[in-house]
Each structure stands twice: as C-alpha cells, then as structure tokens.
C-alpha cells in the first residue's frame, strides 16, 4: 500500500511504501495525487520513502512508477527516494 505523507510544503508530494505495493496503489493513490498537484503547480517535487515498513513492489507497480516519472519528466522538478534498506 502507499500512504501519503502529510504536512509537506506546497508543491511537494510525499508517499511512503507500506507492506506490499501494487499497481492498484498507483491507480488509486499516487497517480491521482500527482495529477491534483500538477493541476495547481507547473512543477512539483516528489518524495518517496522506502523504509522498514515496505515488504515489496509488484512488477506492475514498478512499471507504473517508471511510467509515472517518464510521463511527467518535465513537470516533476525533483524526485527524492529515501531509504535505509541495504537492498530492496
């Protein structure tokens, strides 16, 4: 699942991976929140946290993550992936 990170500055979208992340998490949470942010900002920043609460990503979720970044390459000013995992 994907949880939104609240309390970030305007124009910053924060998400945290929790448990098993699936394509539906991108369809239901990530894509809509990115689209809403882009509707009110010319450029946004994206923060993606992969901590000890994540179990894994399905192949379709990884593909959707890549597709989201590539389709918005001119609109996402910065992407930060934050983790303390030795491997994923």
Alpha-helical segments (H) within the chain: 23-25, 31-40, 59-71
What is the per-residue pLDDT across 25-81, written as a single tens digit (0 to 9) for each? 999 999 999 999 999 999 999 999 999 999 999 999 999 999 998 999 999 999 999
d(CA 33, CA 2): 11
Contact 62, 21 (CB under 8 A): no
pLDDT, mean of residues 7-15: 97
**Locus of tokens 């000013």:** 77
Res 24: pLDDT? 97
- In this prediction, residues 8-32 reach a mean pLDDT of 97
pTM: 0.90
pLDDT of residue 88 exceeding 70, the answer is: no
């Amino acid at each position: 699942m994907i949880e939104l990170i609240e309390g970030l500055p305007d124009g910053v979208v924060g998400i945290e991976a929790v448990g098993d992340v699936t394509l539906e998490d991108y369809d239901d949470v990530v894509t809509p929140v990115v689209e809403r942010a882009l509707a009110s900002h010319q450029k946004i920043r994206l923060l993606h946290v992969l901590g000890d609460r994540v179990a894994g990503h399905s192949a379709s979720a990884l593909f959707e993550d890549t597709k989201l970044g590539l389709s918005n390459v001119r609109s996402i000013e910065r992407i930060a992936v934050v983790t303390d995992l030795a491997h994923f």
